[in-house]
Amino acid sequence: MPTVAVKLYSVFFKLVLKHRLQSLLQSPTVQTEADPFGITCRADESTAPANPSFSAADGVATKDIHIDPLSSLSVRIFLPSPELTASAPAQRQAQNGEAYQGYLPSINGVGRQSKGGSRKLPLIVQFHGGGFVMGSNISSANDFFCRRIAKACDAMVVAVGYRLAPESRYPAALDDGVKVLQWLGKQSNLASIASAKGVAGGGGAEGRIVNGTDPFGTATVEPWLAAHADPSRCVLLGVSCGANVANHVACRAVESGKQFEPVKVVAQVLMYPFFIGSVPTHSELRLGNSYFYDKAMSVLSWKLFLPDKEFDLDHPAANPLVPGRGPPLKCMPPTLTVVAEHDWMRDRAIAYSEELRKVNVDAPVLDYKDAVHEFASLDMLLRTPQAQACAEDIAIWVKKYISIRGHEFSY
Residues taking part in catalysis: 240, 343, 373
C-alpha span between 293 and 16 (Å, rounded): 11
Q: If DSSP states are collapsed to H, E and C, what string results for the chain?
A: CCCHHHHHHHHHHHHHHHHHHHHHHHCHHHCCCCCCCCCCCCCCCCECCCCCCCCCCCCCEEEEEECCCCCCCEEEEEECCHHHECCHHHHHHHHCCCCCCCCEECCCCCEECCCCCECCEEEEEEECCCCCCCCCCCEHHHHHHHHHHHHHHCCEEEEEECCCCCCCCCCHHHHHHHHHHHHHHHHHHHHHHHHHHHHHHCCCHHHCCECCECCCCHHHCCHHHHHHEEEEEEEEEEECHHHHHHHHHHHHHHHHCCCCCCCCEEEEEEECCCCCCCCCCHHHHHHCCCCCCCHHHHHHHHHHHCCHHHCCCCCCCCCCCCCCCCCCHHHCCCEEEEEECCCCCHHHHHHHHHHHHHCCCCCCEEEECCCCCCCCCCHHHHCCHHHHHHHHHHHHHHHHHHCHHHCCCCC
CA-to-CA distance for 59 and 164, rounded, in angstroms? Answer: 30
Report d(CA 336, CA 400) in Å as an integer: 12
Whether residue 158 contacts residue 64, with contact meaning beta carbons closer than 8 Å, is answered with no
Calpha distance 354→238 (Å, rounded): 19
Tally the residues of the chain: 411
Amino acid, res. 403: S
Q: Is 49 exposed, middle or buried (0-12, 13-18, 19+ CB in 10 A)?
A: exposed
